[in-house]
Chains A and B, each alone.
Chain A
Amino acid sequence: MKTIKRDVLVIGGGSAGMAAAAEIRGRNHTVAIVERDNLLGGILNQCIHNGFGLHRFKEELTGPEYAERYTEIIEDSDIEVFTGTTVTEIEKNDEGKKVYAFSAHHGMIVFQVRAVVLAMGCRERNRGNIGTPGTRPAGVYTAGLAQRLVNMEGLMPGSKCVIVGSGDIGLIMARRMSWVGADVRAVVEIQPYPAGLTRNIVQCLNDFNIPLHLSHVVSKIYGKDRVEGVDITPLRDGIELTEETFHIECDTLLLSVGLIPDNEIARKAGIDINPETNGPLVDSSLMTSVRGIFACGNVLHVHDLVDYVSEESHRCGAFVCDYLESQSEERQFRMIPGSNLKYVIPNRFRADRDNHFYMRSLIVRNHAELVLTLDGKEMGRKKLRHIQPSEMISFTLKEKDLQLSDLNNDSTLEISLVG
């Protein structure tokens, strides 16, 4: 058994974990990263398409290139990285947190740290989660697994595909499968609007003449050993129009039906989970309900751009440093999502600095306004050109816009969308 004492342990070596660790090390605190996989970068490593880094680096990078930028920062620092290492448990003790991890090389490692950053990313929803009926043949894959097989293992998961869900990974895989010679026969989306970024609808479907069936579901899977086909049924007001069902022959069904933050360790540590995001509830410093444990990146809420993950995680790293350095606790106030918003993160705000919020819309509109109300009184509006659930909205509330004198202990800030 190995015991390692550091200021901070970052769990997860993807884009979030690396950014948080870099920030923390930059302010001279000792930090280690544990990563399950054998290399840093997380899911970025299998995303060989471009479009990453437009905000962060002002360039269009591929996933591995984006990961490499950060990997170099980590390698050039003295941050210790434990790859091939799995965390099983976080315990509280008098000195802070005790984190248990296991690896083939080290056996058990016990990290004794003052703070922990959760940066474990997310997982894909699967067939069971969406309850698709039919037989259970081989050939039903999540889009991410198919991406891993194609891009990292060089293997074709099948030749004739139907894709369920128009999330970004599904769209990118539609293009990728077409490029490697598969016949992508349809993308089926249950919602009346696409779930992925507009640019991906254009570049991945329209450019390849792949039909997108909005307001449709895969109503049955056929095939005994391997997928042989699927039934597709249109929806009207949420009701299946069974008589209009049509059949598509295929040998592969790829599912891109949403991502869920991977919070099993967080739950075990007793951290409160936000039912809207499946990530932890966090205060204005991205600290969870357990003092000294922070969260950032896709484990907190699913982001649509890695650039936002990095941005949020750098900020998280800075908050961790503030926590390690400061003696007193700052006053925080409640932040809640109002009408037409699925969630707002973080769930608390402070009056003595700028507050950055991320939120997701429940509606599709071309012109909308973000409305801020403090204790029922409107305090500001911001115009938004286009909103849809798949595109995250970010908003910064400046320190100067808030007067501490206007706030009392029960003060609540609400953000709503009006469209």
Chain B
Amino acid sequence: MSGLFDVTIIGAGVIGSAIARKLSSYDLKIALVEKECDVSFGVSKANSGIIHGGFHHDSTTLKSRLEVKGNLMFDQLKEELHFPFHRCGILVAAFNNDEMRTVEKLYQNGVNNKAIGIELCNHERILNLEPKLNRDVVGGLYAPGGGIIEPYRFVFSLVESAKKNGVELLTDFKVTGRVETDDRYRLESADGRSIESKWVVNAAGLYSDEISRIFEAEDFTITPRKGEEFLLDRNASAFTSKVIFPAPSHVSKGMLVIPTAEGTTMVGPTAQMVDDKQDASTSKANFQAIFSSARRLVPAVSERDIITSFTGLRPTIEGDDFYIEASSIKPRFVQVAGIQSPGLTAAPAIADHVKDILKVEGLSLSEKPGYDPYIEDVPRFRNSSKEELDALIAENPAYGEVICRCENISEAEIVAAVRQGHDTLDGVKFYTRAMMGRCQGGFCTHKIMKIISRETGMSMDELTKRGGGSWLVNKKVGDFALRDRA
């Protein structure tokens, strides 16, 4: 980290990362700064992973334009970046005439938005498309263009690609101050580091309002809306072939049944406004609500299959749309805020849009001759045929060492994660899926700790779950002088 950056993007969630990668195709010196110890550890981590079908939002909104455009970009992105993505299709199930009328409005939205292949279904058609639906379903909507991805893995890939093309990633860099001179900003981090940049993009998610305040730019408020989700075992009979939505309400798209890109089932999320941007706690009351709502859609959903639950916070902003504009107060400062659903779907289109804004505002963009959109694909044990595995092990014996027995993750994949800079338990977990299966790390956590320690040289008591004070072990057995970690 040195010198002067042309563009600095604050926030390495899916939006910041997509912008960084897009800009990395131009001849620019770019910094991507993130307050957490790894990328995607904020809003993007606890995302439902849905690539939306382009029918939830009115065609007049920026949201819907970017959603439909973004959706179409994922096939190419998957080719380049190898993240798990399936265009499995989305169904919206209606259980009475009122809901059917809501669904008809969605259909009209989809038609106006030019969503691919969208159709209205009667009772037979929708059950034919998804036999696990509750048989009381009256009809619904089918959006074959919708799909699912692993959201964190998408972010990791975007950042890997951006880094490959010259973007500098600075983690644990929490912007707490800025100094402005004629043609540049100095961004100061909580730990005393600072960088200088001509342009700044505010993609700080939940904290974009605070960043805007630090820059003395527009005054707006981001309110977190909590969404609690439950993950079910990959053997759960509730696993559907398509993403199942209920008819939406005015605040949210409702609680869904989601077949994840990797074969587990997710149910949720709730939609609850909270005050605290750090309140990612789960509660017992939501548990009841989610399961009764999910079972109404798919009766096979069962609490017996739960392997874990988690909470995500969506960064909501006043009004019904994304807030993506050059600041009208501060020069060379672009606001990318209020990116709640369908932000993940729209992310690649948002990146293009931000690039266009920067260009209009005067950033000179010339294409970088050596730009390479492809990153290396790390073969995965669980996705390889027996013969492929045999060959992989011959080349790299670490493929023969299965570390995570539930998800079949080999040592080679863990090592690849650590070498990509994911050196916390959560980093490894979200890169590889190790510890994400039914035993939730009961068997493999200590093995993964040893691999991280071996690869990075960190001692076991320096390892963390997700940076900061999330230590895993605090001393050696026999070391009775308690070290104070508080």
Name A's B-contacting residues (CB within 8 A): 1, 36, 84, 86, 88, 100, 102-108, 123-124, 126-129, 131, 133-139, 141-142, 144-145, 148-150, 152-159, 180-181, 219-220, 224-226, 251, 262, 264, 267
CB of A143, distance to nearest CB on chain B (Å) = 10
Pick the contact of A145: B231, B442, B482 (CB < 8 A).
B442
On chain A, the residues within 8 Å of B193 by CB distance are none
Check if A104 sits within 8 Å of B401, measured CB to CB.
yes
Check if B476 sits within 8 Å of A154, measured CB to CB.
yes
On chain A, the residues within 8 Å of B480 by CB distance are 181
Chain A CB within 8 A of B287 CB? yes
CB of B405, distance to nearest CB on chain A (Å) = 7
Chain A CB within 8 A of B359 CB? no
CB of B238, distance to nearest CB on chain A (Å) = 15
Question: Who on chain B is nearest to A38 by CB?
Answer: B401
On chain A, the residues within 8 Å of B476 by CB distance are 154-156
The answer for the CA separation of A155 and B450 in the assembled complex, in Å, is 12
Task: List 27 interface pairs A-B (beta carbons < 8 Å), by A numbering.
Answer: A86-B402, A86-B405, A100-B386, A103-B401, A105-B400, A107-B400, A124-B439, A126-B439, A126-B440, A131-B284, A133-B287, A134-B282, A137-B470, A138-B425, A138-B470, A154-B478, A155-B461, A158-B474, A180-B477, A181-B480, A220-B281, A224-B278, A225-B469, A225-B471, A226-B469, A226-B485, A251-B474
On chain A, the residues within 8 Å of B307 by CB distance are 126, 128-129
Given A108-B389, A225-B469, verify A127-B397 contact (CB < 8 Å).
Answer: no
The answer for the CA separation of A135 and B276 in the assembled complex, in Å, is 13
CB of B434, distance to nearest CB on chain A (Å) = 14
Q: A104-B398, A133-B281, A148-B446 are in contact. List 20 more A-B contacts (CB 8 A).
A: A86-B408, A100-B386, A102-B393, A102-B400, A105-B397, A108-B386, A108-B393, A123-B438, A126-B440, A128-B309, A139-B472, A145-B443, A150-B477, A153-B450, A153-B460, A156-B473, A159-B482, A180-B477, A225-B467, A264-B235
Check if A36 sits within 8 Å of B402, measured CB to CB.
yes
Pick the contact of B308: A86, A102, A128, A153 (CB < 8 A).
A128
Check if B306 sits within 8 Å of A149, measured CB to CB.
no
**Binary flags per residue of B248-291, CB closer than 8 Å to A gives 1, else 0:** 00000000000000000000000000000010111110010000
The answer for the CA separation of A86 and B306 in the assembled complex, in Å, is 26
**Binary flags per residue of B283-325, CB closer than 8 Å to A gives 1, else 0:** 1100100000000000000010011111000000000000000
The answer for the CA separation of A289 and B366 in the assembled complex, in Å, is 67
Check if A145 sits within 8 Å of B471, measured CB to CB.
no
Given A131-B306, A149-B446, A226-B471, verify A107-B278 contact (CB < 8 Å).
Answer: no
CB of A232, distance to nearest CB on chain B (Å) = 14
Chain A CB within 8 A of B214 CB? no
Check if A225 sits within 8 Å of B390, measured CB to CB.
no
On chain B, the residues within 8 Å of A104 by CB distance are 393, 397-401, 411
The answer for the CA separation of A141 and B440 in the assembled complex, in Å, is 10
Given A128-B306, A226-B471, verify A138-B446 contact (CB < 8 Å).
Answer: no
The answer for the CA separation of A191 and B386 in the assembled complex, in Å, is 46
Chain A CB within 8 A of B465 CB? yes
On chain A, the residues within 8 Å of B473 by CB distance are 149, 155-158
Given A156-B477, A225-B470, verify A138-B464 contact (CB < 8 Å).
Answer: yes
Segment 438-486 of B: residues with Cβ below 8 Å from A: 438-443, 445-446, 450, 460-461, 464-480, 482, 485
On chain A, the residues within 8 Å of B408 by CB distance are 86, 88
The number of residues on chain B lying at the interface, defined by a beta carbon within 8 Å of a beta carbon of chain A, is 62
Check if A145 sits within 8 Å of B400, measured CB to CB.
no
Chain A CB within 8 A of B394 CB? yes
On chain B, the residues within 8 Å of A267 by CB distance are 235
On chain A, the residues within 8 Å of B468 by CB distance are 225
On chain B, the residues within 8 Å of A126 by CB distance are 307-308, 439-440, 442
Given A129-B307, A157-B473, A180-B477, verify A107-B390 contact (CB < 8 Å).
Answer: yes
The answer for the CA separation of A40 and B166 in the assembled complex, in Å, is 48
Given A107-B400, A148-B446, verify A123-B439 contact (CB < 8 Å).
Answer: yes
Check if A142 sits within 8 Å of B442, measured CB to CB.
yes
Pick the contact of B477: A88, A103, A142, A155 (CB < 8 A).
A155
Pick the contact of A131: B287, B389, B479 (CB < 8 A).
B287
Pick the contact of A135: B281, B450, B461, B485 (CB < 8 A).
B281
Pick the contact of B442: A84, A144, A154 (CB < 8 A).
A144
On chain A, the residues within 8 Å of B472 by CB distance are 138-139, 157
CB of B439, distance to nearest CB on chain A (Å) = 5
The answer for the CA separation of A70 and B477 in the assembled complex, in Å, is 29
On chain A, the residues within 8 Å of B283 by CB distance are 133
On chain A, the residues within 8 Å of B460 by CB distance are 153, 155
The answer for the CA separation of A141 and B475 in the assembled complex, in Å, is 16
Check if A108 sits within 8 Å of B281, measured CB to CB.
no
The answer for the CA separation of A251 and B486 in the assembled complex, in Å, is 10
Given A126-B440, A156-B473, verify A131-B309 contact (CB < 8 Å).
Answer: yes
On chain A, the residues within 8 Å of B235 by CB distance are 264, 267
Check if B442 sits within 8 Å of A124, measured CB to CB.
yes
On chain B, the residues within 8 Å of A144 by CB distance are 442
On chain B, the residues within 8 Å of A149 by CB distance are 446, 473
On chain A, the residues within 8 Å of B282 by CB distance are 133-134, 136
